């Protein structure tokens, strides 16, 4: 659900809410035509988020005839009214109007991988930590970190154009909001992610992109002589440490606006007696759910490499008396008898065959009237972020898994003995969706 930038009246909020109910099928049959009608009413009254939603409906031909001209018109109106979120949509469609601009934009995208590598540079050199105390010039930074000042200035200038750093009239650089997340001590820091996906580790996999597409194999599989991605990670203690740090930071980012209020607003855990968090890493999500529901018990279940981190998280949350930390292999078994099994960003790591195998193990363990909950970056036709598509490509490269649509999840659930009962969009900025299932009655 978007947040309107124009502080609308109650009537406008209601119109947008009704539109989103029809758009997402929340409690009613999904109906893009009705969503269009309500978004149009809100947009006519000045709601800029409704203008963006209308533009997307016209762009994708949902509930209306596909019309790029009308889509462009609504995006332009939203930008003119001060909604900066519309700019990315406007830019995407605007390149269709002019071949020279389209070519220039394509050239930018071809070179865009340099930005990922450029982000790795200040992460590796600790630049964000140095800027935490205040703005500094490239000369000042280079003296501390031992880098070439002219070269560092060029990298910082490029990243400033993307809003990661800022540059003042004296040429000094400071942290912008995105740059804050490159600090090591920032809650939800992505410093470790810049290391994992940039530099030698990142380029070793990206260079095999074409081969991944041609063969259907992951880059990890090719690089390691047939090992799976998790087997590869666990074979290197330093890589294991880095991976665990990345997964913890991802939990914070993917659940931003979700753990604080959104997940507990989007889905009711209050009637659950016992939760098993399968592949739960260090237990960030499970601990937040248990803290909000005092009568519940939990089991944090993952491979041995996550055990100590999980114990620390549970202990720090004051939940050691209500939550066990257990190591094991979810392809073999999971703790039995719980009435809710939670798998957060686990299933997208695996192909369909292995996904069904995991879910069948859960099916054998779950209580008869229990619930299966996946938290995944689901591919939605009305999604408002490109992250799920980028994550899908990352899965292609690294794990051999994929992001999926609701219908694809429905088929996997049924193959494993579950019925997909509903999906619930959340406030997560990366498109996390609650995917609920219940055991099919066998017999």
pLDDT band at 154 (very low <50, low <70, confident <90, very high): very high
Residues 117, 102 share a domain: no
pLDDT (tens digit per residue) in 36-78: 999 999 898 888 888 999 988 988 888 888 887 888 889 888 8
Residues 330, 254 share a domain: yes
pLDDT (tens digit per residue) in 119-153: 999 999 999 999 999 999 999 999 999 999 999 99
d(CA 141, CA 8): 45
Residues 81, 147 share a domain: no
Say how many C-beta atoms besides its own lie within 10 A of residue 265's C-beta: 13
Which comes out higher in pLDDT, residue 26 or 310? 310
Give the mean pLDDT of 251-274: 70
pLDDT (tens digit per residue) in 73-126: 898 888 888 887 777 777 766 655 556 667 788 888 889 989 999 999 999 999
The pLDDT score that the predictor gives to residue 235 is: 75
The pLDDT score that the predictor gives to residue 98 is: 57
Q: Which of 86-95, 155-164, 429-438 has the lowest mean pLDDT?
A: 86-95
Q: Which of 74, 92, 107 is at the close of a domain?
A: 107
Residues 382, 360 share a domain: yes
d(CA 202, CA 126): 19
- Tokens 């507990």: give the residue: 264
What string of H, E and C letters represents the secondary structure of the chain? CCCCCCCCCHHHHHHHHHHHHHHHCCCCCCCHHHHHHHHHHHHHCCCHHHHHHHHHHHHHCCCCCCCHHHHHHHHHHHHHCCCHHHHHHHHHHHHHHCHHHHHHHHHHHHCCHHHHHHHHHHHHHCHHHHHCCCCECHHHHHHHHCCCHHHHHHHHHHHHHCCCEEECCCCCEEECCCHHHHCCCCCCCCHHHHHHHCHHHHHHHHCCHHHHHHHCCCHHHHHCCCCCHHHHHHCCHHHHHHHHHHHHHHHHHHCCCCCCCHHHHHCCCCCCCEEEEECCCCCHHHHHHHHHCCCCEEEEEECHHHHHHHHHHHHHCCCCCCEEEEECCCCCCCCCCCCEEEEECCHHHCCHHHHHHHHHHHHHHCCCCCEEEEEEECCCCCCCCCHHHHHHHHHHHHCCCCCCCHHHHHHHHHHCCEEEEEEEECCCCCCEEEEEEEECCCC
Output b/e per residue, 100-116; b: 16+ Cβ within 10 A: eeeeebeeeeeeeeebe
CB within 8 Å of 108: residues ≥ 6 apart: none
Q: Kindly tell me if the per-residue pLDDT of 350 is higher than 80.
A: yes
Residues 417, 284 share a domain: yes
pLDDT band at 4 (very low <50, low <70, confident <90, very high): very low
Tokens of 269: 């855990």
Residues 373, 309 share a domain: yes
The pLDDT score that the predictor gives to residue 250 is: 73
CB within 8 Å of 430: residues ≥ 6 apart: 253, 254, 377, 385, 387, 388, 391
Residues 72, 28 share a domain: yes
Residues 70, 132 share a domain: no
The pLDDT score that the predictor gives to residue 69 is: 82
Give the mean pLDDT of 344-357: 95
- For residue 370, what is the domain's CATH number? 3.40.50.150
Total count of domains within the chain: 3
For residue 301, tell me if it sits in a domain: yes
Instruction: Return mean pLDDT, the chain.
Output: 87
pLDDT (tens digit per residue) in 190-215: 988 888 888 888 888 899 999 999 99
- Tokens 């666990």: give the residue: 234
The pLDDT score that the predictor gives to residue 106 is: 83
> Could you say which of 254, 282, 348, 369 is catalytic?
348
pLDDT band at 7 (very low <50, low <70, confident <90, very high): very low
For residue 235, tell me if it sits in a domain: no
Give the mean pLDDT of 371-393: 89
The answer to whether 348 and 323 are in contact (CB under 8 A) is no
The answer to whether 271 and 436 are in contact (CB under 8 A) is no
For residue 415, tell me if it sits in a domain: yes
Q: Which of 107, 138, 155 is at the close of a domain?
A: 107
The pLDDT score that the predictor gives to residue 85 is: 76
Tokens of 131: 């800027």
Q: Which of 155-164, 257-266, 383-392 has the lowest mean pLDDT?
A: 257-266
Q: Kindly tell me if the per-residue pLDDT of 315 is higher than 90.
A: yes
The pLDDT score that the predictor gives to residue 237 is: 78
Q: Quote the domain boundaries for residue 423.
A: 250-439
d(CA 264, CA 399): 30
pLDDT band at 443 (very low <50, low <70, confident <90, very high): low
Residues 420, 271 share a domain: yes
Q: Kindly tell me if the per-residue pLDDT of 5 is higher than 60.
A: no
For residue 3, tell me if it sits in a domain: no
pLDDT (tens digit per residue) in 209-250: 999 999 999 998 898 888 777 777 777 777 777 777 777 677
pLDDT band at 332 (very low <50, low <70, confident <90, very high): very high
For residue 190, tell me if it sits in a domain: no
Active site residue 120: no
d(CA 274, CA 175): 43
| % of residues, the chain, pLDDT over 70 | 91
Give the mean pLDDT of 272-293: 92
């Amino acid at each position: 659900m978007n947040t309107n930038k124009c502080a609308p009246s109650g009537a406008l909020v209601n119109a947008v809410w009704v539109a989103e109910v029809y758009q997402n099928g929340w409690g009613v049959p999904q109906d893009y035509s009705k969503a269009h009608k309500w978004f149009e009413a809100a947009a006519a009254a000045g709601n800029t988020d409704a203008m963006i939603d209308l533009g997307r409906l016209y762009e994708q031909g949902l509930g209306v005839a596909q019309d790029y001209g009308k889509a462009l018109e609504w995006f332009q109106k939203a930008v003119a009214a001060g909604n900066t979120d519309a700019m990315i949509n406007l830019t995407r469609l605007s390149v269709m109007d002019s071949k020279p601009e389209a070519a220039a934009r394509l050239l930018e995208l071809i070179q865009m991988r340099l930005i990922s590598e450029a982000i790795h540079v200040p992460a590796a050199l600790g630049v964000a930590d140095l800027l935490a105390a205040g703005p500094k010039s490239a000369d000042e930074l280079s003296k501390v970190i031992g880098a070439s000042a002219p070269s560092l200035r060029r990298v910082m200038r490029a990243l400033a154009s993307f809003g990661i750093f800022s540059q003042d009239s004296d040429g000094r650089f400071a942290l912008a909001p995105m740059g804050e997340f490159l600090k090591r001590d920032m809650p939800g820091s992505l410093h470790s992610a810049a290391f994992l996906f940039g530099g030698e580790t990142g380029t070793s996999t990206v260079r095999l992109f074409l081969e991944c597409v041609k063969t259907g194999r992951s880059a990890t599989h090719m690089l390691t002589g047939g090992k799976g991605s998790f087997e590869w990670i666990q074979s290197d203690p330093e890589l294991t440490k880095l991976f665990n740090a990345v997964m913890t930071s991802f939990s914070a980012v993917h659940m931003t606006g979700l753990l604080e209020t959104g997940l507990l607003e989007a889905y009711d855990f209050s009637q659950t007696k016992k939760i098993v968090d399968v592949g739960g890493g260090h237990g960030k999500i499970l601990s937040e759910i248990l803290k909000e529901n005092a009568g519940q018990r939990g089991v944090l279940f993952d491979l041995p490499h996550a055990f100590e981190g999980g114990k620390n998280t549970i202990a720090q949350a004051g939940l050691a008396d209500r939550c066990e930390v257990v190591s094991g292999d979810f392809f073999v078994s999971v703790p039995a008898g719980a009435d809710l099994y939670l798998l957060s960003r686990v299933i997208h790591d695996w192909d369909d065959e292995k996904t069904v195998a995991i879910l069948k193990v859960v099916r054998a363990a779950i209580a008869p009237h229990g619930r299966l909950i996946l938290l995944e970056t689901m591919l939605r036709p009305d999604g408002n972020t490109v992250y799920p598509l980028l994550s899908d490509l990352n899965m292609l490269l690294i794990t051999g898994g994929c992001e999926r649509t609701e219908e694809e999840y429905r088929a996997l659930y049924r193959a494993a003995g579950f019925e997909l009962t509903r999906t619930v969009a959340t406030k997560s900025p990366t498109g996390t969706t609650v995917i609920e299932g219940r055991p099919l009655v066998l017999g």
